[in-house]
Amino acid sequence: DGGITQSPKYLFRKEGQNVTLSCEQNLNHDAMYWYRQDPGQGLRLIYYSQIVNDFQKGDIAEGYSVSREKKESFPLTVTSAQKNPTAFYLCASSIDLGSTEAFFGQGTRLTVV
Amino acid sequence: SQQGEEDPQALSIQEGENATMNCSYKTSINNLQWYRQNSGRGLVHLILIRSNEREKHSGRLRVTLDTSKKSSSLLITASRAADTASYFCATDAAQGQFYFGTGTSLTVIP
């Protein structure tokens, strides 16, 4: 099955800890994205990557970091510098930037305890 | 931020009625897309309309685009309870990344 997989589905983090969210795709897409969604809100772009070993900040990159060492993987680290990390995180991919459709994972719900 | 806005924020209709939601955006675009999100899930692509198109149909969906007003509308005809979801518009930014609106939460009452 081709698709995009996020794990885990639920994640709990203690204040002051870093945590990494996984995103893997087997669609052979070049572009990948991370979005944050707060309750009842739209999606805000955190980071995006056009190609392996390249990524760019979105609107709300502060307190987050990413890597793109492999085409199929785009992990997101939520660092202790992110003051309000509790949210629903969505990863997406597309054939390339400016493509006609983004494919989404099922999301990771992060809660700070 | 280049995030667009949908309106209304929430819409509740009876099954069989039509549902219309609107999207306004801020910058020039190459295309505009509509996505659907069931509660707690990822988004699913519904339809794309290019900047040189004014109207597009797909099954029970009809999308219009007015680039002079920087706005789009999504019409769902003969709604069903299964259409209950949040609907988002997305535009492509200068470098090709997707920017999403704030969403319309649609409830279809059986």
Q: What is the pLDDT of residues A27-83, one digit of tens each?
A: 999 999 999 999 878 899 999 999 999 999 999 999 999 999 999 999 999 998 888
Who among A40, A45, A104 is closest to B99 (CB)?
A: A45
The per-residue DSSP string of chain B comes to ----EEE-SEEEEETTS-EEEEEE-SS--SEEEEEEE-TTS-EEEEEEEETT-SEEEETTEEEEEETTTTEEEEEE-S--GGG-EEEEEEEE-TTS-EEE---EEEEEE-
What residues of B are in contact with residue A56 (Cβ under 8 Å)?
95, 97
Residue B97 to residue A48, Cβ atoms within 8 A: yes
Least confident stretch, A8-12, A60-64, B95-99: B95-99
Å from A100 to nearest chain B CA?
A: 7
Q: Tell me, what's the pLDDT at B12? A: 97
Whether pLDDT at B3 is above 70: no
| Overall average pLDDT of the B75-97 stretch | 91
Say yes or no to pLDDT of B1 above 60: no
Query: Could you tell me if A105 lies within 8 Å of chain B, comparing CB atoms?
Result: yes
pLDDT, residue A1, reads 56
Residue type at A21 in one-letter notation: L
Q: Which residues of B touch A43 (CB under 8 A)?
A: 43, 88, 100
pLDDT of residue A99: 73
* Alpha carbons A23 and A102: distance in angstroms, whole number: 14
Q: Give me the total of CB pairs closer than 8 Å, taking one residue from chain A and one from chain B.
A: 71
For residue A7, the model assigns a pLDDT of: 94
pLDDT digits (tens, 9 = 90+) for B34-77: 999 999 899 999 999 999 999 999 999 999 999 999 999 999 99
Encode burial over B73-109: b for 16+ CB neighbours within 10 A, e otherwise.
bbebeebeeebbbbbbbbbbbeeebbbbbbbbbbebe
Burial class (CB in 10 A: 0-12, 13-18, 19+), A36: buried
